[in-house]
Amino acid sequence: MNQDIEKNRDVALRLVKAVGSGDMATVKKLIHPDLDWWLNGMGHLDHDAFLASLHMLHSAKTGGFTVITSTADADRVAVEMVGHFEYEDGRIYDNNYCELMTLKDGLVYKVHAFFDTGAAEKAFGATPS
């Protein structure tokens, strides 16, 4: 397989791990300054709005993502994963995700992220923002 394709997959998987574990320093290193992160139910988030949106996951006492599959082709990487997060107040947030990422200059540049908005509403009261 093409070495650049595998580098792209590595960047995407490192980003998933960093987002799930609350490693904001790594998240910031792996996303492009012109990031466009689209989430079903929420719409488009730019670089700063995306970073701000991560508070809902990072406020969990434990949690993270488990990657089920990943597929890479050229500058695109698709990642299927499950998330499990537990909060101090007893809430549990379980969800399934599919993120379609495009890389530019070795960084995640565009993302179409699909998740179960019903599971998010159950955990947070409404689609998180």
Domain-wise residue ranges, the chain: 3-123
What's the CATH number of domain 3-123, 3.40.50.150, 3.10.450.50, 3.40.50.300, 1.20.1250.20? 3.10.450.50
Instruction: Measure the CA–CA gap between 64 and 49, rounded to whole angstroms.
Output: 21
Q: Is the pLDDT of residue 126 over 70?
A: no
Band of residue 73 on the pLDDT scale cut at 50, 70, 90: very high
Q: Is the pLDDT of residue 29 over 70?
A: yes
Question: pLDDT tens digits, residue range 46-59?
Answer: 999 999 999 888 88
Burial class of residue 23 (count of CB atoms within 10 Å of its CB; 0-12, 13-18, 19+): middle
Question: pLDDT tens digits, residue range 83-102?
Answer: 999 999 999 999 999 999 99
Q: Are strands 107-115 and 31-39 parallel, antiparallel or unpaired?
A: parallel
Instruction: Measure the CA–CA gap between 127 and 19, rounded to whole angstroms.
Output: 18
